[in-house]
């Protein structure tokens, strides 16, 4: 099950109390203070892991609490610091405070970690308060409280290329044809209900990651058809492929393309400037080719890169993969130069 949105409760441990103690040694009539400090409470830490692809585990375990630090003891013995509680999440996870909406962490790199609930500090024992004028201090600090909060976790897939289009545009068939991904494929709308990732090899030793975004509908940016839930997964992609059905029974391809572009721009203005290409799908059932020529002429007029493919017969796939691979490599190099 693919889960990309959960709420969890985290609570860090409380710090241990400082000790109020005095030396009791034979032949030492006036033993001084020797109370030790309390241990720190455990943190709650979130760590990004590429081994995970969903937030499913966090849906079934929603509460995470770290242990309290141990109290200090006599003979300047310090309490033991409590261990941290580690929560592993997929790459691309955004962590926000549920009540304030504050962004706490954006975990996009393998092994990246962030303390989302800090444990309380251990209290100081009375040995810390001895001075020349106060030689018998009875003061010892209590341990500090640990942070606790409700969190909202949102997963945005990390992929180089996003496949976007209306239902039955051929996105799942394409990703299955060019990668090892095996999404559900059928001849009815909304076959794909969750995003799918696939690794596409090209060249001698190169590859890129493709995300198959479930079919959008008009009004998706307003949440229709779970649109906003799907659209957020293309925010991190560097290149988009707009898939348009050019089969003989499809709707007007130019209108479909323009509607799709408007939905992306309405959801996030940055997506309008994202590099993209148009892919006419189902070339094997194009009929008289009228819709193919309409879309091809439109893209030529607008100077948009256009490809016509058939995933079923693999027509045009090699050319498409080569172009996308080169564009992704160029975009990666540009990002490395900027960073």
- In this structure, what CATH number is given to the domain that contains residue 80? 2.70.210.12
Same domain, 138 and 204: no
pLDDT in the model for residue 157: 72
Same domain, 172 and 118: no
Same domain, 188 and 265: yes
* Stretch 125-145: mean pLDDT: 89
Q: In total, how many domains does the chain have?
A: 2
Strand order in the sheet with 148-155: 63-65, 5-11, 148-155, 93-97, 103-107
Same domain, 251 and 105: no
Same domain, 145 and 175: no
Same domain, 175 and 319: yes
C-alpha–C-alpha distance, residues 165 and 214, integer Å? 8
Last residue of a domain, one of 108, 126, 155: 155
Specify the higher pLDDT residue, 330 or 193: 330
Tell how far CA 274 is from the center of its chain.
20
Same domain, 132 and 256: no
pLDDT in the model for residue 86: 96
What would the pLDDT profile of 203-262 be if each residue is shown by its tens digit? 777 888 888 877 554 544 444 444 445 677 777 788 999 999 998 888 899 998 998 888
The secondary element (H helix, E strand) that includes residue 299 is helix 290-301
Q: What CATH number is associated with residue 295? A: 3.40.50.300
Q: Kindly indicate the confidence band of residue 293, based on its pLDDT and cuts at 50, 70 and 90.
A: very high
C-alpha–C-alpha distance, residues 81 and 74, integer Å? 17
pLDDT in the model for residue 28: 67
Same domain, 147 and 222: no
Same domain, 36 and 173: no
Range of the domain at 116: 5-155
Last residue of a domain, one of 155, 177, 194: 155
**CA 68 → CA 75, 79, 124, 211, 229, distances in Å?**
22, 10, 15, 43, 38
pLDDT in the model for residue 189: 44
Same domain, 168 and 271: yes
């Amino acid at each position: 099950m693919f889960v990309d949105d959960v709420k969890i409760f985290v609570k860090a441990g409380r710090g241990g109390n400082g000790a109020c103690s005095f030396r009791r040694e034979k032949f030492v009539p006036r033993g001084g203070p020797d109370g030790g400090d309390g241990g720190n409470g455990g943190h709650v830490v979130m760590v990004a892991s590429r081994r995970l692809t969903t937030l499913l585990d966090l849906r079934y375990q929603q509460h995470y609490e770290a242990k309290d630090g141990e109290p200090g003891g006599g003979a300047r013995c310090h309490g033991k610091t409590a261990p941290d509680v580690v929560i592993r999440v997929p790459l691309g996870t955004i962590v926000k405070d549920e009540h304030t909406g504050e962004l706490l962490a954006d975990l996009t790199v393998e092994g990246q970690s962030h303390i989302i609930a800090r444990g309380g500090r251990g209290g100081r024992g009375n040995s810390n308060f001895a001075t020349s004028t106060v030689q018998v201090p009875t003061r010892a600090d209590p341990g500090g409280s640990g942070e606790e909060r409700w969190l909202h976790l949102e997963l945005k897939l990390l992929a180089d290329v996003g496949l976007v289009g209306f239902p039955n545009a051929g996105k799942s068939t394409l990703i299955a044809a060019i990668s090892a991904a095996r999404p559900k494929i059928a001849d009815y709308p909304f076959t794909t209900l969750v995003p799918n990732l696939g690794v596409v090899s090209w060249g001698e030793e190169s590859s890129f990651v493709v995300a198959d975004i479930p079919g959008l509908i008009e009004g998706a940016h307003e949440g229709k058809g779970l649109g906003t839930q799907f659209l957020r997964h293309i925010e991190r992609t560097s290149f988009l492929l707009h898939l348009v059905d050019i089969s003989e029974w499809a709707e007007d391809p130019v209108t479909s393309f323009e509607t799709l572009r408007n939905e992306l721009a309405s959801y996030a203005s940055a997506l309008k400037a994202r590099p993209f290409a148009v892919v006419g799908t189902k070339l094997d059932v194009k009929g008289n080719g009228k819709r193919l020529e309409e879309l091809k002429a439109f893209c030529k007029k607008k100077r948009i890169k256009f490809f016509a493919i058939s995933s079923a017969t693999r027509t045009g796939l090699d050319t498409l993969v080569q172009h996308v691979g080169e564009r992704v490599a160029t975009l990666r190099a540009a990002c490395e130069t900027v960073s």
